[in-house]
Every structure is written in structure tokens, then in C-alpha cells.
Structure 1
Amino acid sequence: MTHSQSTGRALDGVRILDLTRILAGPWATQILADLGAEVIKIEHPDGGDDTRRWGPPYVKDEDGVDRGAAYFHSANRGKKSVVVDLAKPEGQRVLRALAKTSDVVIENFKVGGLAKYGLDYASLRDVKPDVVYCSITGFGQSGPYADRAGYDFLIQAMGGLMSLTGQKEGSAGAEPMKVGVALTDVLTGLYAVIGILAALRHRDATGEGQQIDMALLDVQVATLANQAMNYLATGAAPKPLGNAHPSIVPYQTFETRDGYVILAVGNDGQFARFCEVAGLQGLATDDRFATNPERVRNRATLIPILQGVMSGRSMDDWIEALNAAHVPVGPINDLERVFNDIHIKARGMQTAPVAADGARLQGVASPLKLSQTPPIPPKAAPNLGADTFAVLDQLLDPSEFDLTSLEAVGAVQFSKSQP
């Protein structure tokens, strides 16, 4: 088989011991699973990951069988579920043995929470010196807030995102507003993956493991991006602008005759083409509006002029005409329209992950499209404990562990087919 015909995955042979739950950690390990890593998700005997119970809604297969909460399925495809009670000494022994066979351990317990079980970085480094150990917390392993619990909503507030999101101060409905998905968790998961891949490369080059200290608050501050730099450059804290952009005009929603569109003019050439389509050619050469800095300064004058024109034509008319002129424009889609969009379908963003028993579910595909090592065909999120026996039978030394005895003392739990 030639290299171009290889069916291998980018992370084939990498084993992840996943001690995370909820979203940030599971989001990271789901990406790693998509790329071919073996992800062993450790779950508590009392119901497993909390999100298994975060419903309705619930996922059903093609026969209408309930497969568990949609939230859990959103972040756990492609993993193996192993039920271990880490509060029991035998459970701790099992996890240390699994860590010894793993390349990466990832956890999201409170700072110091795993030390009493011998599962913190210092303890596992003694078991496996080259382990890559990723810790995800709200506020990090150090600092005055390190002992606090951190949740996405709280971090969106403390990290400044909510001060930028929502209607302009003084307008109807103006109040600090969170983003509609747990974006800080998702972004932290992405950064965790980046850190893990960098640490694995370092390990492969030097033989050295390391700990990765991921904090939701750090990530939220880092991903304020241009808004953070706007503040640092000026000393003035940016304010919410609704759907407008602080540095680009026009870049916001406009109401048409029958609905709203997003007009995203990113440069002066696009503005000139917009003006041509809109019959406002004079604006493109008006000193107040010809360049983006002037449009930003004169936003209050320009936007009402544009709104007056936009409201005179239909949404579809504007979208067709402006796309033809290569001016970025689009509708505000709800999720029904998103998944029925011809481009989303063409890109394969809705998928049908396969459960262990062959049943097909509904799911969202990985957006990663690698020409040589594409993500694995999607496997549905596992039932609780579905892989406990198979994983432990494969990875534990039978001279040190008896699976029947482990189950008898409650250290592990084999699947009873629950979702």
C-alpha cells in the first residue's frame, strides 16, 4: 500500500486515560478519539458522567430506542466506557495500572482532588515518568482563585465575554448576555488538545512527560482576541454593540422586507460593490464612508441610510444580488435550516454514528478534514460500562488483578446495557 493509500489515523497507537466529565474535558478527548486515539473514559458506578442524565432531549436510534441524553452524545463519540470506583483502593490500583499503559491522562477534578487517591500528576509520574498529564480546572493550578469551582457561565462573566455580548447599552433588552453554547468549555477543550499534541511531540523527541495546566478563565481571557487588544491599546473597555462590530462597518444584521440578513463588509472594495448593488454609489466616494476607519467614526450616520435601503427588498433578493457581487451576506439560520442547508449537507456535517450493537444514531461530524489521516468513521457514545471487561481484560496483568474479585468488591462494574 502506498503512503497516499494509507488508511491509518493520525493518532493511531495513542492511548488516553480520560478522567473527565461534563464538557471541556470530554470535548478534548472526543477530538482525540476522532483522530484515532484510543480513549478510555473512566466513569463512576453511580450513573457515570453527569451529562448522561442531562435530558431531555434524548437520542433515539432508527427503531425509536432511547440511547440517552443528547448532551452526553454531543461530546463522547468514539470512546470506551470503563466503570471504576476511584474511592475504593482496588479501583485506585486499577487506574494506576491503566495510567502506566497510557500515553495521556486527562482530568478535570478540583485542584489537588486526585492526590488522596494517588492519581495526581506527581503520583502517576512515579508510575510512568513520560506521562502527559492534562489538568482542566476553572481557574488553574495556581493563583488566588485556584480552589474555586469554575463553570462555563461563571467564566464567561468573569472573563469579560458577557460584558461584550448583548444589545447596546440603553437599547431595548440590554443586559449582559452569555453565548448560546458553553463556548468557554469548548474552547478550553480545543486548547487542551493543542497542549496534549505539543506535549506528545516533546515526549517523542526527548522522552520527557509533563503536566498541562488548563484553566477556563485563562482560555476565556485569551480568546477575547481583538477585543482584549482593543482595551490594551486604548485603556477603554469595549462595550456591547448588539450585532455590530467594534472595528468594521457595515458588519451587522439588517432587516429586509421579510427577514434579517447578516451583511459582513470586510474591506473598502466590498463596500463599493455593496453600494453599487444597493444603488448608493455616492456613498462609496463620500469622504465620510469611503474607508473603513471613516465608516467606523461615522457609524451613527451611515447605518440608518443603509437600513432604509435594505428594508425595501426581500431577504432572498439581497442574498442573491450581493453574493453575485462577491459581498459577504447570509441569512440567520435556526438549526433546522442549518442541517437542511445544501452546503452543510455537501460537507457531511450531519452523520450517523454507529452504536456497538449496529444501530444508527444521529450526530454531528468532526469538522477536521485531513487528506491522509481523516477522522475515524463515527462510533456512537458508549453505554455506561460497555467496555469495562474488554479493556481491563486486555490491559491488566492477570497475575495482579482478578476481574471477578474487582467486581465483587465494587471496584469496577461491568455493563448492564444501560445508556
Structure 2
Amino acid sequence: MYRLLNGMRIVEAASFIAAPSCGLHLLQLGAEVVRIDQIGGGPDFHRWPLAGGASLYWEGLNKGKKSIAIDLGNPQGRELAASLIAAPGPERGIFLTNFPAAGFLSYERLKAKRDDLIVLRIMGRPDGTPAVDYTVNSAIGIPQMTGPASMGDEPVNHVLPAWDLLAGAYGAFTLLAAERHRRDTGQGQEIRVPLSDVAMASLGHLGQIAETALSGADRPRYGNELFGAFGRDFVTRDGKRIMIVAITQRQWSGLVEVLGIGDAVGRAETAAGASFARDEGVRFEHRETLNPLVAAAIAGRDHGELTAALDAAGACWGPYRTLSQALADDPDLSSKNPVFAKVKHPSGPAYLTPGAAANFSGAERDLPGRSPLLGEHTDEVLAEVLGLSATEIGTLHDKKIVAGADDAA
């Protein structure tokens, strides 16, 4: 965590990945993030993976945030939530949510309480109909590009929720832009970030929409081949699998030099009437000629000696490992990396916890915070943000409008 956004308060009412990850990014740059949680927890509060009965998923996305537990089914609870969102003060009045655009947390209703309110609403589709990362992904053709070429038309889903993660990061960027606009003009606004728009825009940025529109054909599967350049997995003499990528001329020339296949590659270039060194696309077009040359050379070398030589030559490669192997072997995934620290969370024992991924020169990095207990900060937020007295807070508890850490879950 850094302190670059000290003084900014964001109120978050959100579940799952995209919106909570957006709040997490902002918190790790110094913003205060206050979560409005339903008493008993939202739909992701018990989501797998679990440890000690607690969701590691929820802990990971909400670490460092404050939690106030409110009965959002009660009209008085809803009014309390709206008052928190629209609380006065500079760098306040910023709301992050994935709740429906219509309803008690609509922009119009909240704006009536604070005219310069900023709302960032992450959605499934622009029309408000529901969608999640996996349904967006299936609808834009990614599973038909994923997997072995022999799969035919059968889709292959992948486990990384890329559009959720990208929408969360993009949302943080747009929210900061809106906050700057408000500082300059005094005007608030609602920002809507639909997952489906993030996904389609991303494919457009990568040229894939233009590729399909202009060619009239969908991109086929290439298995582990890197589309448009030289790259795939190979196995060393001692049975270690590595990923080799040669996008730049230096990466390609370094690979050829280390493997000692310059003469064979030269003969292939003469036969093809092309230069593999100059154009990554040409290497891709002639992969059926080049792959066997590289595979045979790698199969004759042991992993340790080969990879040391690849590093020295500026070639690009990466190991294949399980996550447990990476945690055991890689200093970038350990407490030696300042991004990580061991933090004790409500689930029980301390475990490796990431803070902000960026490195800011001249800025001090704090340790990542632990995740909150549900309702842990209820009384603190009601007193500090809304200025309620102990008697008023006690009355809300008695009416079960709010709950603390002892009774919120």
C-alpha cells in the first residue's frame, strides 16, 4: 500500500471480482475504502476457496477495507447507506458499485443527496442485463480460439477471469479521471463500465475485430503456438518443459545462436526465400519448418545449462510450473518481494498477501492490510462519517438496522 491518494474516501457496495478489485487498487494507492456489506454477507462472502470457514477469495479482494454491515432490505438501512455514500466533504461523495442501475442506489436518487456525486457502476451489459466474465467470454468467441487445434468446434473455457480483472483496473482509472474532472469543474457524474464493452473494446484494440471483419473468417485454434510470432512449448533432455518466445529480432537471433541451428535456419530461409530474423510474422508462417529444428536442439540439452545460455543471449523463455512450485522456487512470489508480506487474516494463520503491484520512486510502501471482519467498522464509520452519537448508534443496533463484527455474519 502507498499513501498517494490519502484523503480520498470511496464507499463501495459490490460483490465478486470487478468492482471489489477496483476498490482494492484505489485502496492500495492510499484511498480509504468503506464497504457497505449486507448483514450476513453478500453473495460472494462464502465463495471458494475457503479456509477456517472464511472465503480466501473475499479476504483477498477486500483486504485493508473497512466494513459496515447494514440491513439493506430495510428502508431505514437503505437511507443510512445513501447518507454514507453522499456524505459531505472534499474527496468524498465517490461511490463504487455493481448494484443494478435502477433501484435505491440509482444515480438519480443518490445525486439528489449530493449534486457532485461520482458513481462508478460496473455492469454486465450496457442495457443492464446480467453477465459475468465467463458468459461474456463465451459470447465473443474466445473459447473457440482456445485449446488444441484438434478440438474442432468444442469450446474450451479458461480459468482466468480476464474481463473482470481488466474492468476493475479500467474502472479505477476512469474513477480517478472523474474525480479530477470534478476538482476542475465541480461536476459529478455516473460512469458505467460494462464487462461486455471492456471485452469487445479490448479485442478491437488488439486488431482482432478488424481481422475477422476484413477476412470474413474467425481466427482458428493454434494450441500452444503464439499467434503471429514464434512461440510454443518445448521439452529439454531432462524432461523439463519450457515456453520459448521470439518476438523481436534479438530474441530470435539469441535463440538460434544458443541452439547452434544457424546453418539449418539459413538453409530453410534460402528454401523459403524469406528472412526469419527480420519479421516475426514470417517465423509464424514457417513454424512447421522451424519448430522441429528448435525442438530437436532443445531435446539435446539439459534444462539448467540451456536456460542459463538463453538468459546470457537475451532470449526469452519461461518455465512451466504449478503455483505451488512457483511459490517454492520463485523469489518474485515470496516474502523477499516487497509486493508481498505475511498477514494474518480472519481465516486463521498468516499467509502471503500482495500489496500494490506498482513501484513508485520516492514513495514509501506500507504492508498490505488484513481483510476486515464483516461489520468490524460499523460503529466507527457511523460516528466518524455521519456524526452519530453512541445513543443513536445503539438504537440502530437494537433495531437490527446495523450490525457489528460480533453479529454481522
Q: Tell me the TM-score normalised to structure 2 length.
A: 0.88
Unaligned runs of 5+ in 1: 1-6, 59-65
Superposed CA deviations along residues 141-194 of structure 1, whole A, max 9, x for unmatched, are x3xxx32x21221111113322222222458xx842223222221111111101
The structure-2 alpha-carbon separation of the partners of 1:259 and 1:357, relative to structure 1 and needing over 3 Å to count, comes to closer
Aligned counterparts, 1:10-409, within 5 A? 10-45=4-39, 47-58=40-51, 66=52, 68-101=54-87, 102-112=92-102, 115=103, 117=104, 119-140=105-126, 142=127, 146-147=128-129, 149-170=130-151, 175-224=154-203, 225-226=205-206, 227-232=208-213, 234-249=215-230, 251-257=231-237, 258-285=239-266, 286-287=269-270, 288=272, 289-291=276-278, 292-340=280-328, 341-345=330-334, 346-353=336-343, 360-374=350-364, 376-398=366-388, 402-409=392-399
Equivalent residue for 1:416, pick from 396, 403, 406 = 406
SS at match of 2:224: coil
With 221-230 and 207-216 compared, the bigger mean Cα shift is at 221-230
The structure-2 alpha-carbon separation of the partners of 1:265 and 1:410, relative to structure 1 and needing over 3 Å to count, comes to same
- The RMSD of aligned alpha carbons is 2.6
Superposed CA deviations along residues 235-276 of structure 1, whole A, max 9, x for unmatched, are 432122122111111x12112221210111112232222112
Matched AA of 1:23: I
Deviating above 6 A after TM superposition, structure 1's stretches of 4 or more consecutive aligned residues are 356-359
Unaligned runs of 5+ in 2: none
- What is the identity percentage for the equivalent residue pairs of Structure 1 and Structure 2? 26
Aligned residues: 393
SS at match of 2:61: coil
**Is this contact kept in 2: 1:169–1:175, CA < 8 A?**
no
**Is this contact kept in 2: 1:203–1:209, CA < 8 A?**
yes
With 310-319 and 180-189 compared, the bigger mean Cα shift is at 310-319
Q: Tell me the TM-score normalised to structure 1 length.
A: 0.86
The structure-2 alpha-carbon separation of the partners of 1:358 and 1:311, relative to structure 1 and needing over 3 Å to count, comes to closer
Superposed CA deviations along residues 350-404 of structure 1, whole A, max 9, x for unmatched, are 3223559998443233212112445542111101110111111112243899212
The structure-2 alpha-carbon separation of the partners of 1:305 and 1:356, relative to structure 1 and needing over 3 Å to count, comes to closer
**2:217 and 2:311 mapped to 1: Cα distance?**
36
**Is this contact kept in 1: 2:383–2:389, CA < 8 A?**
no
**2:98 and 2:287 mapped to 1: Cα distance?**
45
**2:12 and 2:220 mapped to 1: Cα distance?**
39
Deviation of 1:122 after TM superposition, in Å, equals: 0.8
SS at match of 1:43: strand
Superposed CA deviations along residues 288-317 of structure 1, whole A, max 9, x for unmatched, are 334423222222222122222222222223
SS at match of 1:186: helix
**1:269 and 1:358 mapped to 2: Cα distance?**
48
Deviation of 1:330 after TM superposition, in Å, equals: 1.7
